[in-house]
Structure 1
Amino acid sequence: MTDRMVVRELIGLGEWTAASALYRSVFGYRQPEFGISPRLLAALRENAGTVLGAFDGAGELVGFCYGFCAVEEGEIYHYSQAAVVKAGLQGAGVGRKLKQAQAEAARGTGARTMRWTFDAYALRNAHFNFAVLGATAIRFLPDYYDDGDSDRLLVSWDLYQAPPQTSELTTVTAPATDRYAAPQPEDRDKLRQELMDAFRAGGRLVGVERRHDAPGEVGYTFTRAAR
């Protein structure tokens, strides 16, 4: 499917509006305040942001991502606010093509890394971010959106794929369903605390994988530079 796909910058009110509609559809948002203004996308496009769409062979918009330049302690990076793929096409390679195109655009702004957040317990997202892209989680953000249910991992993706440094590894384990780690409240509370502790200790999360030696569990693998 992706061999006929075109990923390019979105241009004009019609495409920005279509991207906004796709975003609301994928996330199921009904509240107007959760939408994306086409005017915001126009401003991002003109000010070193990314506003990219994936089109199938028939010219239909099936994926969309947007982001903007940001800085922390003097480091310029590109922040990817959202990437969405039309229902039924997740896992078909659309998301990877969008991220690759966004990375190329970010390099053009001078950024060496790209950051974004994702659900700390969503296993499919974790696999894509760590195993497919090779990103690293650098921070745990409890209740990021202040809605009572939005623990997030902040990941950083090296746009030039620097080789990993020698490191020590530690693993935090938790029960899991097919889609989520720690689905029960008591398990979620325990995992949340253990993840926060691991980051505070200087760890960086590099993988979330099912444990072959313990069916029904996943392991969050942290790396830390060896002393």
Structure 2
Amino acid sequence: MILIRACSGHDELEACVQMQIETWGYDDSDIIPRKAFLVGQKIGGQVIGAFDTDLPGAAPNGTPESMVGFAMSLPGVKTGKNSTDGNPQPYLHSHMLAVRDHYRDRGLGAQLKLEQRREALSRGIRRMEWTFDPLEIKNAHLNIHKLGAIVRSYYVNFYGVSSSRLQGGLPTDRLVAEWYLDSDRVKGILEGSQAAAYEIEERILVPAAIYEWKASSAGRERALAVQDENRRRFQEAFSKGLAVVSFTRDAEGNGVFELARWA
């Protein structure tokens, strides 16, 4: 039994801090402290936890010890050309999502995102964004294929040097997922309907072996070469007005970003 709810109390927020260390292997320079989680929650952000209530000693409403995942977002405002109608609009930037190792590949990440969406819409917030690594196939599949986000922006080395073991020493390049929470596209994808057909103009591939290459000093140059080439192709495509509208995985497990014109 997995319970999804807002985190409360210092102990649960501290559990989020410890889980980010466990998930990404951050050192002190990259850790977001408990106070930042607390402030984010108090100013209109979200700290949502996933709790395994079947663990020995777990309470029906969950405990810090039974937390197995979390998602954290911060509030923001879109202005000018970045808003949909030119007027200031609130949105949420989902900064972190983590799931304990033994609970991955069970759809828990999607459950946390859907609770973020439900809570945001309950407050009249219709847009969320977050960044993700263009080389992470599983994340791209969740963000685009399962949730219906689109991508139109590429940030080069966004966070600078990272202590995360998952980064593999590569520049922290990031794509920006735009999630329009109550759009027909998102509602249709979440309901299992076929997404609207697009005329795909570009396809950008991420080799399934990228995880192995990033994890070894021998393969890091190959991973860097893929990152450099895909960075160039994403930037060119976005400059022409294309957007990532779908994501597929082929028979070999390679990830394929599909780009088309976005209205």
TM range (shorter): 0.7 to 0.9
- Partner SS state of residue 168, structure 1: coil
Give the structure 2 partner of residue 56 of structure 1.
52
Can you give the 5+ residue segments of structure 1 that lack an aligned partner in the other structure? none
1:195 counterpart = 2:234: yes
Amino acid at match of 2:91: Y
Structure 1 counterpart of 2:158, one-letter code: Y
Partner of 2:256: 219
Q: Judging by fraction of residues, say which structure has more helix.
A: 2
Are 1:20 and 2:17 an aligned pair?
yes
Give the match for residue 10 of structure 1. Answer: 7
- Tell me, yes or no, if the aligned pair for 1:136 and 1:155 is still in contact at 8 Å: yes
Separation (CA, whole Å) in 1 of partners of 2:231 and 2:123:
35
1:169 aligns with 2:204: no
Q: How many residues are aligned here? A: 220
Q: Does 1:71 align with 2:77?
A: yes
Deviations along 1:3-29, whole A, 9 cap, x unmatched?
x11111111111111111011111111
Question: What is the alpha-carbon distance in structure 1 between the residues aligned to residue 141 and residue 259 of structure 2?
Answer: 15
Cα distance, 1:172–1:166 mapped onto 2, change above 3 Å: closer
- Pairwise CA distance, 1:119: 0.4
Residues 82-140 of structure 1 deviation map (CA, whole Å, 9 limit, x = unaligned): 00000121111211111111111222332211100110111111111111111111211
TM-score (norm: length of structure 1): 0.87
Contact persistence 1:177–1:183 (CA under 8 A): no
Percent identical pairs in the alignment equals 26
Q: What is the Cα deviation at residue 48 of structure 1?
A: 0.9
Q: Which amino acid aligns with 2:127?
A: T
Structure 2 gaps of 5+ residues are 59-65, 80-87, 162-169, 186-194, 214-220
Distance 2:137 2:19 in 1: 23
Question: Is the 8 Å Cα contact of residues 117 and 153 (structure 1) preserved in structure 2?
Answer: yes
For the pair 1:94 / 2:108, whether they are aligned, the reply is yes
Distance 1:133 1:18 in 2: 27
Q: TM-score, normalised by structure 2?
A: 0.76
Distance 1:118-1:40 versus aligned 2 partners, 3 A rule = same
Distance in 2 of aligned mates of 1:101 and 1:183? 38
**Residues 143-192 of structure 1: CA deviation (Å, up to 9, x unaligned):** 11122511111011121132377753212333612455994433332221
| Contact 1:126 1:207 survives alignment (8 Å) | no
Please give the secondary structure, in 1, of the residue aligned with 2:19: helix
Q: Secondary structure at the match of 1:41?
A: helix
SS at match of 1:128: helix
Equivalent pair of 2:45/2:72 in contact (CA under 8 Å): yes
1:116 corresponds in structure 2 to: 130
Distance 2:108 2:22 in 1: 17
Question: What letter is aligned with 2:204?
Answer: T
For 1:122 and 1:185, the matched residues in 2 are separated by 13
**Counterpart Cα distance in 2 of 1:124 and 1:165:** 22
Greater strand proportion:
1
For the Cα contact (< 8 Å) 2:202–2:237, is it kept in 1? Answer: no
Given that 1:62 and 1:86 are in contact with CA atoms closer than 8 Å, whether structure 2 keeps it comes out as yes
Partner SS, residue 149 of structure 1: coil
| Equivalent position amino acid for 1:155 in 2 | A
**In structure 1, what is the Cα distance between the partners aligned to 2:260 and 2:241?**
9
Structure-2 change in CA distance of 1:12 and 1:153 (3 Å): same
